[in-house]
Structure 1
Amino acid sequence: MGISNSNSEEDTTSQLLFPQDPTSNPTAINAPKKLALLPLVFLIYFEVSGGPYGEESAVGATGPLFAILGFLVFPFIWSIPEALITAELATAFPGNGGFVIWAHHAFGPFWGSLMGAWKFLSGVINLASYPVLCVDYLKLVIPILSSGFPRYVAIFVSTLVLSFLNYTGLSIVGYTAVTLGIVSLLPFLVMTLFAIPMIEPVRWLSLGQKGVKKDWTLFFNTLFWNLNFWDNASTLAGEVDQPQKTYPKALFSAVILSCFGYLIPLMAATGAIPLNQEDWADGYLATVAEMIAGKWLKIWIELGAVLSVVGLYEAQLTSSAYQVLGMAELGFLPRIFGARSQWFNTPWLGILISTVVPLVVSYMDFADIISSANFLYSLGMLLEFASFLWLRRKSPEVKRPFSVPLGFSGLVVMCLIPSVFLVYVMTVATKPVLLISSLLTLVGIGWYFLMNLCRSKMWFQFIKGENQLDKDDHDV
């Protein structure tokens, strides 16, 4: 229960700014409609993929055969288990906190708060990479954006513009994602059709060129970066129409769309042209498209890359902003962090925070950005797997509209395989990444105790007076 004010006028204003129960909130009657299935599918798609942009490094690292096998096999050992876990927990514990709620129910408020810190920081660090990518593509057309002050201004302006779109409403963002997804995938469909007569299947079996050393760290980081974050959309559960039915359908559809979105263009490109492995770096698919069909298709794919980055940014920003909202509703953050816009019903403060932090991070080295995001995300995922297994073992009575169809031993194996990969990603991290991740983890721990102090001293209002689960859900 939140702290109440004696002043009735202040209380009314508080209800308008911080809606909790739609039945008691005057603004809820005119609130935007809940997020439907199709926009949720494309929001999940952009949380994870956004198209084959960025998969080129897998070919450059290990050659066509391992790259194809990676994008074929990795979804089964990583993407599908993560999507299944998200479907079960998001339908059993729906709410804008997502994975924070799951860790909270499983292990208590400290671990819920730490989960929130890890996932939020990994999300906003990852978010910082998208304006950088957007400017990297734009500099091909506008060379002045390559370096110096114009580059910094371009990153700053693009971040603000993209964030404002998110402020205008979840439905707008959702259907924008649908449009961006279709437009950014179309040129690869065209490239595939042009490539079919040129394909020589033997090229798919290549292990790489002689003399080119395999870079397994780059290979696995590329797979991981292109196929993770399936659980991010769980922070929108409170905004989704019939989440118990919608989430499993949306996740299954997004898995299919993402996997084929990677595999089909990759097989078309590697099968249609002779291998020059050193050329296979980010952006090379556009060059391949030019070889296959002409410069017009290269320009189309480069334009699609910019649109894809916009979709990636919007989806990640939405997830991070609603996570902030959900953590305020759970009492991990002060009540003010749950503020919604009176015009669009969006979590404006969550959007603002999720915009400012990436602006600071975006001027870091790009490789350190990605590696730090992966490290923190790995910590959060290990806790998420543990929460899933603990809740399944200790709380079988919880209603699960969707349940992973495996016994407990099968679930342990399902979680163990990707966990081994997570540990591997963490062990190959560089010293700067370890330092950054350790410092941010300490910040997350310190934040939990700071919030407890603020609650005990009543320095801020919190929606829940105590950072605990409801009485009927406390003993899990």
Structure 2
Amino acid sequence: MKSTEKKKIGVLGLTILSINTILGLKNIPFAATVGPSAILFWILAAFLFFIPIGLIVAELSTTYPEQGGVSAWVNRAFGQKASFLCSWFYWVANFTYYPSLLLGITVNMAYAINQQQIIQNTWLTTMIALAIFWVITLLTLRGTQMSGKLAAIGTPLGVIVPVILIFGFGFASILSGHHSATEFTARTMMPNNLSLDTVMFLSTLMFAFAGVEMLGTIAEDVKNPQKTFPKAILISSVIIGAIYILGTIAFQFVIDIKPDQTATALYLFADQITKQFHLPFQLSQLLGICFVVSTVGALSFLILNPSVMFYESGKTVLPRVLTKTNQANMPANLILWQAAGVSMILLLSGFVPTVSEALNMLILMATLAFFIPYIFLIGAYIKLRRTDHATVRPFQVKNNKLAYLVAGVGFISVIGTIGLTLIPAPDTTVSQYAPLVVGPVFFAVLGVSFYRMGTKEEKETLKKAS
């Protein structure tokens, strides 16, 4: 994906893409459900997952800045098969992640147009989500510059403005003497007990930091990646961490949220602020507009990333019809096949009784599938540190022991998250739990089958040619 120097993405552009891709303000009300101890959990999630993965990605991106990101690094470390399977899981994971993101857009849109009753109609929300998804998908086919433009619009309007509003009104409520909905003391800020639920909660917050590895797929479109990547990752990590922690404090001061209210919690917060300050407008409606813009801005990059990664690792394995690129050098057919799979899952989610239940099921499935590629990523980092001593590393964890410690912490966190996700909650039914286990196994078998068929076809072609 060649581009002229003047079109290359700099530190600011990469930081905007990173923040808009990783940051999810919906994670703040979810964190708030456990009370003030969420502050400690955010810090733990950052140190156990975000910082280790961020350091790994920064080092690999600057050392091997070729297009493809994780798939290219895994290929360099373990070969084509591992790279293909890593990208395959990353690609299929989005089949469940995108529907959850798209259903969230419909909730935001309902508040943006002040028609909250839309949320009660699961089929209407599904149709709206499908329409939005296909429009953004078709725009994404125009290339990485289109993704960058959408993110450049979405981040200021959809992230910065809501953050200012939530922080501003939240801390204004604190400073103006309003009664706190949450008790902030040393006792409440510490976890009362270390149970399976609290550990699983920590794993979910780690998922809120996922996504930094996506930046590796656009390495060739980044200006001076050896310097740009570390700076952008450092800046975005500080901003994202601060927003999550401070936003949770402000949120908890204003409202006491229950676990079954997470889908609309930000709007309940906004309604409470509207009452407290007697605002002449509905803050919930303004936030709804901002969140729609933000998600639409991020969606193009999220659609593009896994398909580019899968294309880079599978272009010699997949059938030619799937690896065909368009005039913008985008893997158009892969992106369209992905859109078809997402559409099918979205339509199936329409049979779930409520939007909240559909969201919870899809997010849990996506969490499990998304963390599998991190095993490949961390393994590749360790292997390349041990075997590739010739390549210059413009940015690296200097001490080998510290580098392996960083990788070890990230690896244990990822494995722990996968294991905990597979433990069913007490009230989970068989129909809810089965997809968590059957899904990954099915896709693993399917991925291996595709690889074997592709390599067999490639060998037969080479044999005929010789």
Q: Please indicate, yes or no, whether the TM-score normalized by the shorter chain is above 0.5.
A: yes
- Per-residue deviation, residues 91-121 of structure 1 (Å, max 9, x unmatched): 2222222111111111222211111112222
CA contact (8 A) 1:341 1:348 kept: yes
1:391 to 373, 381, 384: 384
Give the alignment of 1:42-441 within 5 angstroms: 42-49=16-23, 51-60=24-33, 62-63=34-35, 65-140=36-111, 141-142=114-115, 143-144=117-118, 146-184=120-158, 185-199=160-174, 203-205=183-185, 206=188, 215-216=197-198, 219-273=201-255, 275-277=256-258, 281-293=262-274, 294=279, 296-328=282-314, 331-334=316-319, 336-342=321-327, 344-362=328-346, 363-364=348-349, 365-405=358-398, 407-428=399-420, 429=422, 430=424, 431-432=433-434, 433-441=436-444
- Residue 447 of structure 2 corresponds to 444
Return closer, same or farther for 1:388/1:208 CA change in 2, 3 Å cut-off. Answer: closer
Shift of 1:440: 0.9
Distance 1:434 1:106, change over 3 A: same
Distance, in Å, in 1 between the alignment partners of 2:312 and 2:151 is 22
With structure 2 as the length reference, what TM-score do the two structures score? 0.82
Contact 1:139–1:146 under 8 Å retained in 2: no
| Deviation of the 1:161 alpha carbon | 1.0
- 1:265-292: CA deviations, max 9, x gaps? 221122345x354575233122213322
SS at 1:35 equivalent: coil
Distance of aligned partners of 1:150 and 1:291 in 2 relative to their CA distance in 1, 3 Å threshold: closer
**Distance in 2 separating the partners of 1:369 and 1:399:** 42
Q: 1:471 corresponds to which residue?
A: none
Q: 1:353 to 1:96 in 2, by over 3 A?
A: farther
- Partners of 1:72 and 1:415 in 2: CA distance: 18
Q: Which amino acid aligns with 1:434?
A: V
Letter in 2 for 1:264: L
Kept in 2, the 8 Å contact 1:128–1:361? The answer is yes
Residues 414 and 401 of structure 1, relative CA distance in 2, 3 Å threshold: same
Which amino acid in structure 2 is aligned with residue 314 of structure 1?
Answer: S
Amino acid in structure 2 at the alignment position of 1:196 = F
Q: Partners of 1:134 and 1:79 in 2: how far apart?
A: 25
With over 3 angstroms needed to count, the CA separation of the structure-2 counterparts of 1:198 and 1:151, relative to structure 1, is closer
Q: Secondary structure at the match of 1:204?
A: coil
Structure 1: which 5+ runs fail to align? 1-18, 23-27, 466-476
Root mean square deviation, CA, Å: 3.0
**8 Å CA contact 2:154, 2:295 repeated in 1:** no
1:258 Cα deviation after fit: 1.5
1:345: Cα distance to partner?
4.2
Residues 195, 214 of structure 1: CA spacing in aligned structure 2 closer, same or farther, 3 A cutoff?
farther
Q: Which secondary structure does the structure 2 equivalent of 1:341 belong to?
A: coil
The answer on whether the counterparts of 1:125 and 1:358 sit within 8 Å (CA) in structure 2 is yes
Q: Tell me if the contact between 2:40 and 2:189 (Cα under 8 Å) persists in the aligned partners.
A: no
CA distance in 2, matches of 1:227, 1:280: 22
Letter matched to residue 293 of structure 2: L
TM-score by length of 1: 0.81
